[in-house]
């Protein structure tokens, strides 16, 4: 079942990402879903920090993927410029799946059809009360139902 939390600042979203990172292990895929400016990169920064990545994490919008090494190898992927899973496959980005990498993918909704059964989906939307408020809903998909 989806779990929803509310954050009130980018810092709070980063901290939640750090907590989430504790559950991740090699081979996991986290799909971040939400409009431009929703906070996907901010959340990815928190997740990567929690995974032990010391470098500054920037948006990989232009280059599609940045690799890091934390406790495991991590690939931060941004599909902003891609249309769909066909583009993803054409670029060979699927090689990161079923590998040692933990994958954090922005605009994950574009490749829902090829995400592995065990991926996690995180949706970010704006709250109504304050410009810095975000709803973050978290869903773990597992094999079968
Ligand atoms: N609660 C919040 N969580 C995440 N980001 C927030 C929050 N409140 C304000 N922001 C701001 O919203 C913007 C989110 O940008 P970014 O993470 O790059 O979005 P995306 O990657 O989804 O396009 C940042 O400028 C960030 O400071
Ligand atoms: Mg982004």
C-alpha neighbours within 13 Å on the C-beta side of residue 133: 7
Tell me the pLDDT band of 20, cut-offs 50, 70 and 90: very high
Ligand 1 close to Cβ of residue 119 (< 6 A): no
What residues pack around ion ligand 2 (CB closer than 5 A)?
Answer: 40-41, 59, 106
Helix axes 10-21, 40-50, angle to 10 degrees: 40
**Quick one: pLDDT at residue 143?**
52
Can you tell me whether residue 5 is helix, strand or coil?
strand
Nearest Cα to 96, choosing from 58, 122, 68?
Answer: 68
H helices present in 66-124, as ranges: 85-90
- pLDDT computed for residue 62 by the predictor: 81
Ligand 1 pocket member 130 (CB < 6 A): no
126 CA to centre of ligand 1 in angstroms: 10
pLDDT for residue 144 is more than 70: no
- Specify the range with the lowest mean pLDDT, choosing from 50-54, 61-65, 105-109, 134-138: 61-65
User: How deeply is 129 buried, as exposed, middle or buried, from its count of CB atoms within 10 A (0-12, 13-18, 19+)?
Assistant: exposed
Residue 1, pLDDT > 70, answer no
Q: Please state, for a pLDDT cut of 90, what percent of the chain lies above it.
A: 88
pLDDT attached to residue 137:
96
* pLDDT digit string, tens, across residues 40-87: 999 999 999 999 999 999 988 888 999 999 999 999 999 999 999 999
Between 61 and 120, the more confident residue is 120
Q: Is the pLDDT of residue 113 over 70?
A: yes
């Amino acid at each position: 079942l989806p779990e929803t939390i509310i954050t009130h600042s980018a810092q709070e979203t980063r901290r939640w990402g750090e907590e989430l990172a504790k559950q991740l292990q090699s081979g996991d895929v986290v799909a971040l879903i939400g409009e431009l400016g929703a906070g996907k990169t901010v959340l990815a920064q928190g997740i990567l920090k929690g995974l032990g990545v010391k470098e500054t994490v920037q948006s990989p919008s232009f280059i599609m993927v940045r690799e890091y090494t934390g406790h495991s190898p991590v690939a931060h992927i941004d599909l902003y410029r891609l249309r769909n899973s066909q583009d993803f496959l054409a670029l060979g980005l699927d090689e990161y799946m079923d590998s040692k990498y933990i994958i954090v993918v922005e605009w994950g909704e574009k490749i829902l059809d090829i995400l592995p059964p065990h991926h996690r989906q995180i949706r970010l939307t704006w709250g109504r009360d304050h410009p810095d408020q975000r709803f973050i809903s978290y869903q773990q998909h597992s094999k079968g139902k």
